[in-house]
Amino acid sequence: MKQTLVIVVLLICISNAKAQQQFVFSNYILNQYYYNPALAGSEDVHKASIGYRNQWAGFDEAPVTMHANFYGSYANMRKHGYGVSLMSDRSGLIQNTNIYLNYAYHINLTDSIRMGFGVKPGYLQYNVLLYDAQLADPVDDVLTGNILATNAIDFGSGIYIYSKKFYVSLSMRHLLGKSVSFTGFNYGLAKHYTAIAGMNFYSKKKKFVLQPSIMFQYVNPAPPQLSVMMKGTYMNKFWGGLTMRTQDAVGVIAGVNLWNRLSIGYAFDYSLGQIRTYNYGTHEIMLTFITTKNKPTLDQEDEDLNNGIFEENKKKDE
């Protein structure tokens, strides 16, 4: 009986620790929508994405995360944004599944700078998968059944300021936290704070874009975590870069854009801590598909045509 109670305490501690942490993504730029609901509607397209992350490959019962998103704006007008996201994460006996809806509203601050405000209500479920547990006393009544489950109501919000040259993302998750007592697990949710900022430096002919960015995350009582990324994109098609997370890992990212609709991104992390000797690194892949996009206006078509003629004449002169 004593051994069984120890197992119960350990499972509760693991579950509480899991609730205190956000999911970690190496290529956070590709998945900013996860961190900030205000991203929905910031572009004149609708996007659908799926992702898979295998953390600490080769380590038994290591975390595995899968997610899917769909978001855009009404009539692709970049004013009223909306979206939905699904996510499932398993680490050992603990499985976390959630679903979020969101709404965002965007306004013009200047001719070139915009701001979006977003909210993100959601539902979370935490399960302890007892059918995979190795119990010291399998006939003990304390751990009966196949799954221990609890749930929580969640709410997040964010602000997104952006232009073609820079962006700043500020968001908070688990805003309800302990204030919601009618669910089984809200008491264990701590507020998460995330800030992401980046800039775009274009080459003279805009064939190459250098994109440095930084992400800051904080949840009490864990120490703050800083992620840095340097990404380069060529001809809006091929891209790659380097990443680093303080006290955690370094890595590389790479990807390609196909047919102006499909984006394939891959990231690899190498652990810096003591756990590095027990795993083969972390692998992450994400596919993003533009489902609908605005057709170019007549003015845009004329401008593209004129630019094409100008470039062709310039090549002839050279």
pLDDT tens-digit series, residues 4-30: 433 444 444 444 444 344 677 888 988
Q: Which CATH superfamily is domain 2-290 in?
A: monomeric porin ompg (2.40.160.40)
SS3 annotation, the chain = CHHHHHHHHHHHHHHHHHHHCCCCCCCCCCCHHHHCHHHCCCCCEEEEEEEEEECCCCCCCCCEEEEEEEEEEHHHCCCEEEEEEEEEEEECCEEEEEEEEEEEEEEECCCCCEEEEEEEEEEEEEEEEHHHCCCCCCCCHHHCCCEEEEEEEEEEEEEEEECCCEEEEEEEECCCHHHCCCCCCHHHCCCEEEEEEEECEECCCCCEEEEEEEEEEECCCCCCEEEEEEEEEECCCEEEEEEEECCCEEEEEEEEEECCCEEEEEEEEEECCHHHHHCCCEEEEEEEEEEEECCCCHHHHHHHHHHHHHHHHHHHHC
Domain residue extents for the chain: 2-290
Q: Report pLDDT digits (tens) over 221-272.
A: 788 899 999 999 999 999 999 999 987 889 999 999 999 899 999 999 988 8
Does 142 score more than 60 pLDDT?
no
Nearest Cα neighbor of 157 from 106, 192, 196 is: 192
Residue 56: pLDDT band (50, 70, 90) is confident
Cβ(63)–Cβ(55) under 8 Å?
A: yes
